[in-house]
Structure 1
Amino acid sequence: MARTRLYRNGVLVSEDFNPADISDHLDEPGVAMWLDMCEPDEADLATITEELGLHRLAVEDAVHEHQRPKLDHYESHLFLAAYVAFVHPYSERLNTSEISVFITPTCLVTVRKEPSFDIDQVVARWDNNADLAKSGVGFLLHGLLDYVVDTHIDAVQQLDEKIEQIEEALFAEHVDLKPLQRRSYRLRRALMGLRKVAGPMREVLEGVQRHGSHLVDNTMRPYYADVQDHVLKSSGRIEALRDLAATLRETELTVQSNQLNVIMKQVTSWAAVIAVPTLITGFYGQNVNYPGINTEWGFWVSTLVIAVASVGLWWSFRKRGWL
């Protein structure tokens, strides 16, 4: 289902009109239009492709999934591909949703690859900054890019919190490393995925301001600079978190090694405790005369020696923290 908007001289004059009427307003001065389509095929894009003069390569990219974030410059328009990113609230799994955008001097066409892209959030930003609508398509594009980059920052913040949770669990008194290792692995994968969708946005923003200079007027230029600053901020934090995740992995290996050392000390200590009665009973089992041989009191003396020596070793190892 397509959604449309028509701005004239910075004022929203029409909404959800028939997309076929877009061509009637292309030559009007002071007009900016928006068309949104979700999961269209090439046949759905055929009408606007002819009306807006969209390049067939850009149309193919808009239909096919898994494009890398980019900005392509064509003679009559710009084509932009980007991703929003969300972290699952109960795991470290990263979810992304792709959007393709055709940018012409008078029209912004958004093509969502799946319904999970919340276009209502973009519309809300336009409504909250309606005083900037006189900037036309540059205003519409800014609202979209601002939302996309903000999802990257939110995802970075969520992953940062999950790293802190893993750190706290890692240094708890009783540590179960298996679930922590799984969480750490998912975290590193999420950071890698976020880097792939957030990192190229710097070049995208620079390209918009360079090739779309006719769209970004003096009013919108500071707002685009603010979005670009957010891109640099998110990219820097992603790199810092990747380094922190690598350090976290090294810490996990250190904790695992320490746990193994403790286990080895415990095994060795118990082996020492068992060695004492083994020595005594082995000695008394020889065919030699010894005090108390073939007497009841000799048996009890040897048993007492075994018990006292074993308890003494156990207490000594316990005091040293080996058991």
Structure 2
Amino acid sequence: MPIVDNGIYVEGRRRATPSSLAETFEDMVACHGMAWMGLYRPTAEELEAVAEELGLHQLAIEDTLSGHQRPKLDHYGTHSFLVLRPARYVDETEKVEFGELHIYAGVDFAVTIRQAESAQLSSVRRTMEAQPQLLALGPPAVMYAVLDHVVDEYRPVIEGLANDIEEIEDGLFTGDTSVSRRIYELSREVIEFQRAVAPLVGIVGELRRELTGSERSPGSAGGPQTGPETDQAVLELDSRFADVQDHVIRVAERLTSFREVLTNALSLNATLVSQQAAQAGVEQNEQMKKISAWAAILFAPSLVGSIYGMNFAFMPELAWRFGYPLALALMVGLSLGLYLVFKRNRWL
């Protein structure tokens, strides 16, 4: 079993660290606590074993095994299934890499399953273990902590995309032919990022409603209990959920502005390319005019020379004394006349 970390928590404090799946369920029942299990790319057999012990719904298991899920929050009676899409910006390639993170949350258990390297959750567990009053609220606290971590990791991605867009804006007027492709690639990344972020606004809102509703209902084994301290912890957790929701909204707004900027940049680039093509056509036309003009100027003496180069016996002007100078003068005159005409028409 690819268990990254595993703990049994009672009133927010770790009481046991099981080393196997069977031991986890034994300790969870013995301690009447909450199990928080972190898995990394489990196989189908391993996931089926967890599902059988915890009573996870088969549809949720199929989603985990198939992967490529969009962010969502599904409820299956005794437990919830949350899908998140972590992201990280790779400086070396200037690309955004998206991962996938699944969370199963029941009354007395939370199972996090990572399908990619991003969204390392060891720091999340340490942070929550340092706040037992929040962790005592059970799986909702775990879901908050993971959500907050994923959303926080969106910030450097936003900064990286912002820098890339600034570089594109600077390169629009430099004539770089690769700008169009870069704009298209960035647009695809922003669209995929929007798909990862947009559903989170509603997801966090639903988690907040469930949390505040649970404050007024008795908790079960391993879950949050009622009481003044618990009520205060619930209010604190709800305020933190609200902070996460606010961050999600800000990220979504930035992505919307990025998409608008990239759309405008793509339109501007298309306009600039069209203008460059038109300018190239004008310049080519001017060059063709010059070539045609000089061809016509050179054609005139060639025509005269070719006529007088004929070896016919009966050509009266061949016997003229001034025939040769006249032929030269005719060639020069025709060439000069054509030159003046083309110059006047701005072909030269």
TM superposition shift of 1:125: 4.3
What SS is found at the alignment partner of 2:97? strand
**What's the % identity of the aligned pairs?**
24
TM superposition shift of 1:11: 3.0
Aligned residues: 310
Q: How does 1:73-222 map to 2 (within 5 A)?
A: 73-91=75-93, 93-123=95-125, 125-126=127-128, 132-172=134-174, 175-177=175-177, 179-213=178-212, 214=214, 217-222=234-239
Separation (CA, whole Å) in 2 of partners of 1:196 and 1:223 = 23
Contact 2:86 2:118 in 1 (8 A): no
TM superposition shift of 1:140: 2.1
Does 2:17 match 1:18? Answer: no
TM superposition shift of 1:118: 2.5
CA RMSD of aligned residues (A): 3.5
Which residue number in structure 2 is paired with residue 265 of structure 1?
282
Which residue number in structure 1 is paired with residue 273 of structure 2?
256
Q: Which moved more, 1:271-280 or 1:240-249?
A: 271-280
TM superposition shift of 1:122: 3.1
Partner of residue 236 from structure 1, selected from 253, 256, 263: 253
Contact 1:4 1:19 in 2 (8 A): no
Does 2:297 match 1:280? Answer: yes
TM superposition shift of 1:19: 3.3
TM superposition shift of 1:152: 3.0
Q: What amino acid is the match of 1:7?
A: Y
Q: What amino acid is the match of 1:244?
A: V
What SS is found at the alignment partner of 2:69? coil
Separation (CA, whole Å) in 1 of partners of 2:104 and 2:18 = 19
Q: Residues 158 and 124 of structure 1: is their aligned pair in 2 closer, same or farther, counting only changes over 3 Å?
A: farther
Q: Residues 233 and 292 of structure 1: is their aligned pair in 2 closer, same or farther, counting only changes over 3 Å?
A: farther
Which residue number in structure 2 is paired with residue 320 of structure 1?
none
Q: Residues 160 and 142 of structure 1: is their aligned pair in 2 closer, same or farther, counting only changes over 3 Å?
A: same
What SS is found at the alignment partner of 1:105? coil
Which consecutive residues of structure 2, in runs of 5 or more, have no partner in the other structure? 215-223, 225-232, 308-316, 318-322
TM superposition shift of 1:101: 0.7
Q: Residues 282 and 124 of structure 1: is their aligned pair in 2 closer, same or farther, counting only changes over 3 Å?
A: farther
Q: Residues 160 and 137 of structure 1: is their aligned pair in 2 closer, same or farther, counting only changes over 3 Å?
A: same
Q: 1:119-150 CA deviation, whole Å, 9 max, x = no partner?
A: 33533543676674344333322221012222
Which residue number in structure 1 is paired with residue 263 of structure 2?
246
What SS is found at the alignment partner of 1:239? helix
Q: Residues 125 and 250 of structure 1: is their aligned pair in 2 closer, same or farther, counting only changes over 3 Å?
A: farther
Contact 1:73 1:211 in 2 (8 A): no
TM superposition shift of 1:105: 2.6
Q: What amino acid is the match of 2:168?
A: I
Separation (CA, whole Å) in 2 of partners of 1:8 and 1:135 = 10
Which consecutive residues of structure 1, in runs of 5 or more, have no partner in the other structure? 317-323
Separation (CA, whole Å) in 2 of partners of 1:124 and 1:16 = 17
Separation (CA, whole Å) in 2 of partners of 1:109 and 1:191 = 30
Separation (CA, whole Å) in 1 of partners of 2:300 and 2:43 = 89
Q: Residues 227 and 134 of structure 1: is their aligned pair in 2 closer, same or farther, counting only changes over 3 Å?
A: same
Q: Residues 125 and 83 of structure 1: is their aligned pair in 2 closer, same or farther, counting only changes over 3 Å?
A: farther
Q: Residues 260 and 137 of structure 1: is their aligned pair in 2 closer, same or farther, counting only changes over 3 Å?
A: same
Separation (CA, whole Å) in 1 of partners of 2:196 and 2:278 = 42
